[in-house]
Amino acid sequence: MRIDDQKVSQSAAFVGDAELVDAELDDSHGSQFRLAGDLAVWLVILIELVTFGLFFMVFAFKRAFQVDLFNRMQSTLDLHSGVVNTILLITSSWFVARCVAAVRKGQSQAGARWLALAIVCGAAFLVMKTVEFKAKFDLGVNLSTNDFYMLYFTLAGFHMLHVVVGVIILAMLLVMVRRGKVAANNMHALETGAAFWHMVDLLWIILFPLVYVMR
């Protein structure tokens, strides 16, 4: 492969230009290599992942030097609430994936129903998390209690903010799907919102075992 060809291939691989990438990368797979959603939002997703990744590292390494404290404090968290929240986010992510598949097939009504279910799960997560935080605050536990709770409230609170933003985005998408502004021939907004929502789910998948289960 000539150098010019290589440059084209690398550039196409990054931006997801389906035609260029098809020519270079498509194999017997038969489908297009394409980044689903807006490139700018995917860059935001990358930044979010790096930020949370650093938070996860800080939590894990702080724990390494205060194992007893972190284990004792972890046992004061509600594991049942943690697992229900995990199931809610995973299921919500599944509903969004189902919505995208339905709208692509031209089934906007079904897509709207999947999206509404996803919003219900996201809202339920927010209610449960609020109850969990309130129970801690009522006991006088807060950010300044100790290192564990400082990191717990920071991580879970920051993640919760993303869930709030995600639910608002899903609600806006629901209106767009119902009004026909998002359809099989115009998937950009829906794919972009879906990518953000899946990121929120992805972060919780790491947060749950790290904060609630690891001993």
Partner 1 sequence: MRAGVGVLKAIQSNDLVWFGLILATLITFWFGESGLSDSARGVAVLVIFGLAYAKAAGVILQFMELKHAPWLWRLLLLGWLTVVVLGILLAWLIGDLRA
| Environment class of 174 (CB within 10 Å of its CB; exposed 0-12, middle 13-18, buried 19+) | buried
Nearest-approach distance from CB 110 to partner 1, in angstroms: 12
Q: How far is CA 90 from the centre of its chain?
A: 9
Q: Which stretch binds partner 1 (CB under 8 A): 137-145, 159-167, 173-181, 193-201?
A: 193-201
Residue 111 burial (10 A CB sphere; 0-12, 13-18, 19+): buried
Q: Which of 13, 41, 123, 187 binds partner 1 (CB under 8 A)?
A: 13
Residues composing the chain: 215
Give the Cβ contact number of residue 173 at 10 Å.
26
DSSP structure class, residue 212: I
Site string for partner 1, 115-154 (x = CB under 8 A): ----------------------------------------
Query: Can you tell me which of 5, 72, 83, 135 binds partner 1, judged by CB under 8 A?
Result: 83
Of residues 29-68, those binding partner 1 (CB under 8 A): 31-36, 42, 46, 49-50, 53, 56-57, 60-61, 63-65, 67-68
> Which residue number, 83 or 165, has a Cβ lying nearer to partner 1?
83
User: 63 or 159: whose CB is closer to partner 1?
Assistant: 63
49, 199 Cβ separation under 8 angstroms: yes
